[in-house]
Copies of this chain bind each other. A is one copy, B any other.
Amino acid sequence: MSRIGIIGAGSIGSAFALLFADAGYRVRVYDPDLSAAARSQETISNRASQLAQYGLLRSDHERISRLIDYVPTVAEAVNEALLVQESGPEDVVQKRQIFADLTAATSPHTILASSSSSIPTSRFVPETSAERALIAHPGNPPYLLRIIEIVGNPATSEEVLSRAESIYAKADLTPVRIRQEIEGFVFNRLQGAVLREAYALVSEGTVDPDGLDTLVRDGLGLRWAVLGPFATSDLNVRGGIRAHAKRMGDAYQRMASGRGPSEAWTEAMIDEVEAARRREVPLSSWDDAVADRDLELMKLLNSRQPNLRKEDR
């Protein structure tokens, strides 16, 4: 069997359908909202042609469409699936119901994965299927940020985790193992650390929101798109990361100490950033701004790996 089941045909579920079909898997998608299928098909069709333009598709649009079926029941979606990717609402009560249904409808060999960004599987999987349940949290959008956080619960078997990782790797997502069910996992904890310092800097009047975003986009973020933070520090000081820690460690500790551990995001600081963002992007242009972001990401990916995708074919 080389079939994947997707529960939920929203933007994340549709993205997974596209990624798995592009890797050659047969995909069955279930959504309780019957009108979701048409929207999902259109999304996948648009995305697939954009990705193809930038050399980021291994297969082609027609083949992808042929591999994806929308089905009217959970049972049909998950029957004989290697892996089920649950991409429903971020709500623990709904996930409990969905995972009870999935446990009943699947064989013990089917991996049960959830796209949740914040709720660990311990909080919603039945004991009987905990061994084959895990979080597989993608970036947004998943077909452009080609990483996925793999988080087991204490009962998840190593065999299931590594089998899941090899399935995601086939769909061109680099799996990163997260070894504790920590809130925010790693991706969102790092994002939270930046936002916390960013809000504090704006709030105290050190920099305005646009200036801060510019420093990241054309500076820190550009470099982090080439090297992660440890690799960046390693190459910033001759002698590597140990020399970096010796030179910079005390200063970074002082900077961290200056921030209280638990300041809430205040209304005033959100107001200031919101006003700056609306000057840049009125809410009426929000969808266009998202589309522009994705085009820029496609250009970067295209430039970064000029030959990789073709070799993959």
Residue ranges of A at the interface with B (Cβ–Cβ < 8 Å): 118, 139-140, 144-147, 149, 174, 176-180, 182-184, 186-198, 201, 204-209, 211-236, 238-242, 245, 248-249, 251-265, 270, 273-274, 276-278, 280-281, 283, 286, 289-290, 293, 296-297, 299-304
Cα distance A141–B220 when bound, in Å?
11
In the bound complex, residues from chain B placing their C-beta under 8 Å from that of A241 are 270, 273-274, 277
* Minimum CB distance partner of A151 in chain B: B206
In the bound complex, residues from chain B placing their C-beta under 8 Å from that of A223 are 139, 145, 221, 293, 297
In the bound complex, residues from chain B placing their C-beta under 8 Å from that of A211 are 176-178, 186
Cα distance A222–B297 when bound, in Å?
7
Among B186, B215, B304, which residue has its beta carbon within 8 angstroms of that of A186?
Answer: B215
Cα distance A179–B265 when bound, in Å?
21
In the bound complex, residues from chain B placing their C-beta under 8 Å from that of A176 are 207, 211-212, 214-215
Nearest CB on B from A219, distance (A): 4
Among B208, B214, B261, which residue has its beta carbon within 8 angstroms of that of A260?
Answer: B261
* Minimum CB distance partner of A302 in chain B: B303
User: Are B229 and A216 interface neighbours, CB within 8 A?
Assistant: yes
Would A217 and B207 be within 8 Å (CB), given that A240-B286, A265-B252 are in contact? Answer: no
User: Are A226 and B300 interface neighbours, CB within 8 A?
Assistant: yes
User: Are A218 and B145 interface neighbours, CB within 8 A?
Assistant: yes
